Structure 1
Amino acid sequence: MRATSATIRAVNRMTAHWAADGLAPEALAKGTAFSAAGLWPLLAFLADGACGPARGELEDALGMRADEAAEAARGLLGALARIRGSSAAVGLWVRPGLEVHGQWAAGLPDATLGRFSGDDEADKKALDAWATERTGGLIPAMPLRLDKATLLVLAAAQAVRTKWLSPFQETGLEPDDEGPWAGRDLVGLSRRTSLLDRVGVTETPTGRLTVLHVLGNTGVDVHLLLGEQDAAPGAVLAAGIGILSGTHQVVPGYRLPLGEPGPGLNVRNVRAGDRDHVLSVTTSPFSLTAAHDLLATPALFGLTSATDAGHGHFPGVSDAPLAVQQANQSASAHFTAEGFQSATVTAFGAAAGCAASATPYVVRHIRLVLDRPFGFLTVHRTSRLVLSAGWVAEPVDYAPAERDDEDYDYDDYDDYDEES
């Protein structure tokens, strides 16, 4: 079972809408990460069991008919599980006495199915253990509270890990005097390559956007997005997704004009000792965690009617009247010199309703410096599915005595030579 192009477009569209309209200003101010790929399947399974206005609203949010969405979700989860270094899992837990329709539960692919013991503290520990196990420890807790009113929990976990084809070197980063990070002594990551098409520039409604592709050895890449100084974070992320859909066309590095053709870029011709062109990149590492209350913007996710406890909305799930009580996502993302890791756990709780010297060669030299807030997209290279996204608002201050670099054991994956 595979994710169709229609499913990928629907998930990426939800990512763009979430970036533009669903991120709280305070989350963007400190940096955030999120994943529509981890949310979309759960909404699809809810839509499959919904009726009335809740079903219609979920269809609008999904961009797909409810009677097609569950099958599409199974294909999406299967595709996520087949990506090297990636995993995806679904879990369903119900309160004793609540009977769930077998046909609906059977449609949850390879799901963990369980019943609560009645001891809320013990049950919460079991849910937390599931989240920890399914994300390799990146998400240590299920992102919801558990109480007697919670009759059903439906959750999805997604994790991805990749090692850069060409690693970065840790270095210093001295931001431009005019940016929000100016005057700070920062940790930076730098590397050089002769592959100029790793960087490009596109024109968007909010100005020019520079995009850098950092390739991983599992078929998963991270796109770093640097917009104009005054561009809104949501607009930058949405424009990055527009590149994937073909809405915005990118001019690759080898076709960029000399000068400063895009944010953070400088392009010039220099004399060098060999014929290879040079793309030099300096960026900031990041380690982000985020928590999202999806019910803060329920219309964005098709959950407005589904939260009305005065009615039951999911007769396809259970004969008992159910309404969405909680809808949350926990996310993390880590960009280091060696590679990238991200993970999300999304959960719904349902309750009852009522430079060189001169030489013979002249080559192109492109320098990109990301020394102010920027966005990122984690993208499956072949399908162009956005696995996660986020905004890096705060850099890492250079403090050698205090820094404790974490070892993510990327050596589980083979090394490749990006230049080959």
Structure 2
Amino acid sequence: MSVSACNALTARWAASAPAPVFAAAGVYPLLALLASVADGPARAELLRVAPTPLALPVRGALGIWTRDRVPLTLEWASRSDPRLTGDPSVDGPLLDAWAATHTGGLVPAMPVTVGPDTGLVLASALAVVTDWPQPFSGGVMRPLSGPWAGRRLASLHRRTTELDALRVVAGPLTLLTVAGSGDIDVVLCTGDGTPGSVLSAAVGAPAVAGPERSAGHVTGPGVVAAEVDADDDVPELVVKVPRFTASATHDLLATPDVFGLAAAATVGTFPGISPVDLRVGAARQQAVAAFSAEGFRAAAVTATALVPVAFRPPRARKLRLTVTFDRPFGYLAVHRPTGLVLVAGWITDPEPARAR
């Protein structure tokens, strides 16, 4: 149930505010943890989004830091990390070092800032690293039409006989699965709808039963089928995609209903943490991703800062199928055995090609 609930959160987030990179799988563990210690409307909202805990199938960590001024329940006191001092010059480097350590340096700083009013910080980190068994080759892409027309982009391409990696589902929606190491696949997706509709549809596509065209006679967004002269008659798939790196910072409280945080950010409370009324004063995520010739790297750190309610600080001729992602497109990093979407994003500004 937790996988489907987390994927549903990914789809809602994608539909509401698609970004170059975001990781609902980094937010979900914190929401489930807060749900387990919340009360009243906050608990009800959080449980609707994160009803059960989620064990990440990739490198991940959970951090808890508290202030001496906030009394804790016995159970929560046993879980907390070193105490916060209330001095940003001391607490900031402590939290930043944790973020860097648990993401292999991909996210060097905690996405929330701490100050004298901060009573407690919860943070999660995840890192997704996969290598392509069949690397891509580098090149240059020059789109002739669309938003990238006229640009000279750094391109990755490869040929394969594994036509089943390409699917077109109702929408129409084109999906290309790039298999990686360590049970991680990256699914590239493109379609004719809005970025949010395409990306959210891609999240649900693996579980959707319905019209789907086999690779032998695929027609869909970005796909061209042609008969070409060749030395054999084995069908092949040619993949062309721009190399990209992406980073984004997300304020989860900007759309609190998506994450079940509306009540948690206003009235609290969290009796499982402390007898003092607390509310979520900040909730942010910093995420990065890179798709290269050798593999895919991504990481995200999500943090929530809880403050005592009294403070109320401001809220912040052979068949050749060629699939070309030469316009804005989405991607999903998926844990193959469970189908859990770990990282997703919508690319609108890929890397330019190097000058000659």
Aligned-partner Cα distance in 2 for 1:373–1:299: 27
Contact 2:331 2:346 in 1 (8 A): yes
Residue 184 of structure 1 corresponds to 151
CA 1:313 to 1:281, structure 2 compared with 1: closer, same or farther past 3 Å?
Answer: same
Aligned-partner Cα distance in 1 for 2:147–2:233: 37
Q: Deviations over 1:99-131 (max 9, x none)?
A: 32233466x6xxx71201343211111100000
The structure 2 residue matched to 1:198, chosen from 144, 165, 182, is 165
The structure 1 residue matched to 2:207, chosen from 224, 245, 260, is 245
Residue 187 of structure 2 corresponds to 223
Deviation, structure 1 residue 249: 4.9
Residue 407 of structure 1 corresponds to none
Deviation, structure 1 residue 247: 4.9
CA 1:398 to 1:271, structure 2 compared with 1: closer, same or farther past 3 Å?
Answer: closer
Deviation, structure 1 residue 312: 4.4
Q: Deviations over 1:140-161 (max 9, x none)?
A: 1000111111000000000010
| 1:399 equivalenced with 2:354 (yes/no) | yes
SS across alignment from 2:69: coil
The structure 1 residue matched to 2:250, chosen from 271, 274, 292, is 292
Contact 1:198 1:252 in 2 (8 A): no
Aligned-partner Cα distance in 1 for 2:76–2:210: 40
**TM-score for the superposition, normalised by structure 2:** 0.94
| 1:53 equivalenced with 2:21 (yes/no) | no
Contact 2:110 2:301 in 1 (8 A): yes
| 1:254 equivalenced with 2:231 (yes/no) | no
Residue 167 of structure 1 corresponds to 135
Alignment gaps of 5+ in structure 2: 311-316
Contact 1:49 1:314 in 2 (8 A): yes
Aligned-partner Cα distance in 2 for 1:215–1:320: 49
SS across alignment from 2:150: coil
Q: Deviations over 1:337-394 (max 9, x none)?
A: 110000000000000013xxxxxxx532111111110000000111110001001001
Contact 1:91 1:154 in 2 (8 A): yes
Aligned-partner Cα distance in 1 for 2:342–2:213: 24
The structure 2 residue matched to 1:15, chosen from 3, 10, 22, is 10
CA 1:363 to 1:102, structure 2 compared with 1: closer, same or farther past 3 Å?
Answer: farther
| 1:211 equivalenced with 2:175 (yes/no) | yes
Deviation, structure 1 residue 191: 0.4
Residue 97 of structure 1 corresponds to 69
Deviation, structure 1 residue 299: 1.1
User: CA RMSD of the aligned region, Å?
Assistant: 1.6
Aligned-partner Cα distance in 1 for 2:212–2:304: 38
Alignment gaps of 5+ in structure 1: 1-5, 81-85, 355-361, 402-420
**TM-score for the superposition, normalised by structure 1:** 0.80
CA 1:312 to 1:381, structure 2 compared with 1: closer, same or farther past 3 Å?
Answer: closer
Aligned-partner Cα distance in 1 for 2:27–2:350: 28
Percentage of identical aligned residues: 42
Residue 222 of structure 2 corresponds to 264
Matches for 1:303-382 after TM superposition, within 5 Å: 303-308=261-266, 311-354=267-310, 362-382=317-337
Contact 2:107 2:287 in 1 (8 A): yes
The structure 1 residue matched to 2:60, chosen from 65, 72, 88, is 88
Residue 409 of structure 1 corresponds to none
In structure 1, give the amino acid aligned to 2:185.
Answer: D
Aligned-partner Cα distance in 2 for 1:312–1:19: 26
Aligned-partner Cα distance in 2 for 1:326–1:233: 27
In structure 2, give the amino acid aligned to 1:317.
Answer: I
